[in-house]
Structure 1
């Protein structure tokens, strides 16, 4: 087999033969994607296939394009006002998750999910207090928590990548030793594994947090991105979850990271906490971002469904390609997110297989060690791209692994 990395891609949409109305994940060529100036496409040289940071290789949903274009033409580029974003999210939660408990009057706009997490943690903890996380987990959890002078206490996931009540009990006990306040920063759905927490698991979390006096702050940014046949359960909807604080956004599901806007949502037992949020935090979100996110939630659902169907096919494709070309990689397709967590330890590539795949295969993935304890020897791969790019990426990874053997 030819070991020279090469670019293969779907047909260029500028080609009259291309399907301009086909599935979103198949519409754009590498040539078009490399015209983008965002982080995903500027961090590495052009010979590298970037399957790392959580940006999707899709054209934007037309309802979002129209809403933003109309606002720009009108000159509607001032400061945000009112609650249209929260109202749209409440409708989405009712229709998609069967949850009618998202009260608009218990929401606040925040610049983005991670900055919103910081503000929620400030409301329920102080400097030097502990924040529990489930490792391996999204690397900014560590970075942001430590930068705000809180201590990270890890509660590892179990061998199946699920919440481990024994590990949580031990972590909550450590976090609250000496009678200090503590918080639990829960990732739901979980990044990087794509695990969907069940209602029973979340109910157990709420009971355990109440028993130990730990406040739950939950990152639910990937909530709309679920596999077919799976269902997302909002933490605030489960028994005992009412004193939790959630961060939600349309940014991941509709590829809107560059249009900053997110929502903090309080359960009815945390309304007083959210009311203490400094007013200036609400000055951070972009008014255009709020317009985009609102349009996505209300009018971009068909587009989202098309993306979700493509992701289902990509999960199946990736599993088949790995079984054929890299059988030493262990991969359990997640029920949510567009991220794949690959256990590469049997390949003999050391603790940093992402470095090998980049150097020898020209494929950029996220290094597992960055996700905390349990991440070494793993990589995170972004599935939100075309089947052709995934196929080429696995070919390159297999070539890199053979070259290192």
Structure 2
């Protein structure tokens, strides 16, 4: 893929006034005086190749049902180009509405009601909710103190999950939401070895995979030794800001292909035709835009570290290796188990509350840094006022 020198940082492209005209959840959940740094939407314009394919489809009235293998073929191409991985076989994929619907369909294939699904908290709250809604039990294998997978905790959880001969699965967030941890090949190989030993089936949510930042490298779970019976669920939604254009792919390892073929036909009824077109165009043609975005996110994670060190030194910050979500440890700031409530009420900054992420969530917040540097600066100023480090009422933010 070519370099991004011709492409400006998309995080700097839109003013705050223009962003506030948006009608999505990020911008309409809270009053206009609140800076929204919560849900996983980015403050970016649509990549031109994606806008073009959507505009052409609308002009043609091409708004029917999704079909074809174009999305899977684009992912296979992207995986070769970006990750030097040739493991996406189109005949071992299925198009689904979104990542969580894909996860649910796979969990239905490999577990039954009452079976256990292992989670690695703190982790994306819908993991807990969807697993419970499907009548499965959550068994926790918490991350270690460095925010990484803990082999000992995983083994204990696997042993509990399969007790009595029950089927079990591990739902793995990779890269990890909310910590931004990018799992290494040795870490993932250890997971695969344990999963094989205990008969646990792995389902990897890899929606943040294209967003791995400089200094880390994404390892597709299906590329590691021992993961041949696993599943991955992937989408272009996070990396190109396409959450409102529903589409995702389930990818099966070679030993899981037969199970994937047993997915009921109704599972394929959810994806949007426009979503499939948009995601395909993003993977195929918006690599330069992605490179420019990654440069902006890299700069923002450094900026956030500097701002916190200067204005909020009591907040613990571990720089994310991937994605644009940051896990902040606010336990020393005196804001209780749910600091997000205080930051919203007193600072007028909307962050994602920590406790719903499970074990390790209390006293934490998740911050979305996919915004302009100016908004990031103003958000940290407001957060600092919330904990009483700076006097004065929050002022209006300006976006570059």
Q: TM bucket by the smaller chain?
A: over 0.9
Of 233, 236, 242, the match for 1:247: 233
Aligned to 1:305: 291
Q: Please give the per-residue CA displacement for 1:11-47, whole angstroms capped at 9, x wherever unaligned.
A: xxxxxxxxxx732000111111110000000100000
Query: 2-side partners of 1:307 and 1:152: how far apart?
Result: 35
Select which of 367, 375, 379 maps to 2:365. 379
Contact between 1:339 and 1:380, CA under 8 Å: does it hold in 2? yes
Aligned counterpart in structure 1 of residue 71 of structure 2, from 70, 81, 85: 85
**Cα distance between partner residues in 1 of 2:8 and 2:90:** 36
Match of 1:392 in 2: 378
Query: What is the TM-score of this pair, normalised by structure 1?
Result: 0.94
Q: Which residue number corresponds to residue 35 of structure 2?
A: 49
Q: Alignment length, in residue pairs?
A: 386
Runs of 4+ in 1 over 4 A off after TM superposition: none
SS in 2 for 1:241: coil
Q: 1:96 to 1:274 in 2, by over 3 A?
A: same
- Structure 2 vs 1, CA of residues 216 and 349 (structure 1 numbering), >3 Å: closer, same or farther? same
Alignment deviations for residues 92-141 of structure 1 (CA, whole Å, 9 cap, x no partner): 00000000011011000000000110000000000010000000000000
RMSD: 1.3
Q: Is the 8 A contact 1:261 1:290 kept in 2?
A: yes
- 1:123 pairs with one of 84, 106, 109: 109
Alpha-carbon shift at residue 279 of structure 1 (Å): 1.0
Match of 2:301 in 1: 315
Distance in 2 separating the partners of 1:244 and 1:238: 10
CA–CA distance in structure 2, aligned partners of residues 264 and 22 of structure 1: 33
Q: Which whole-Å CA distance do the structure 1 matches of 2:386 and 2:216 have between them?
A: 35
Q: From 280, 293, 296, give the equivalent of 2:279.
A: 293
Q: Distance in 2 between matches of 1:187 and 1:403?
A: 35
Aligned 8 A contact 2:98 2:247 in 1: yes
For residues 282 and 314 of structure 1, the distance between their equivalents in structure 2, rounded to whole angstroms, comes to: 38
Structure 2 equivalent of residue 15 of structure 1: none
TM-score, length-scaled by structure 2: 0.95
Which runs of 5 or more residues in structure 1 are unaligned? 1-20
- The 5 A counterparts of 1:90-109 are 90-109=76-95
Q: Find the counterpart in structure 1 of residue 249 from structure 2.
A: 263
Structure 2 unaligned residues grouped into runs of 5+: 1-6, 392-400
Q: How many angstroms apart in 2 are the aligned matches of 1:140 and 1:101?
A: 28
2:261 corresponds, among 266, 272, 275, to 275
Matches within 5 A, 1:151-190: 151-190=137-176
CA contact (8 A) 1:64 1:296 kept: yes
Distance in 2 of aligned mates of 1:46 and 1:74: 37
Aligned equivalents of 2:342 and 2:65: distance in 1?
Answer: 46
Q: What is the aligned partner in structure 2 of residue 334 from structure 1?
A: 320
Q: Shift in Å at residue 404 of structure 1?
A: 11
**Deviation at 1:230?**
1.7
Q: Which residue of 1 aligns with 2:58?
A: 72
| C-alpha contact 1:349 1:404 (8 A) present in aligned 2 | no
| 2:213 paired residue among 227, 230, 233 | 227
Aligned mate of 1:132, from 118, 128, 132: 118
Q: Counterpart of 2:394?
A: none
Give the secondary structure class of the aligned counterpart of 1:118: helix
1:229: how far off?
A: 2.9
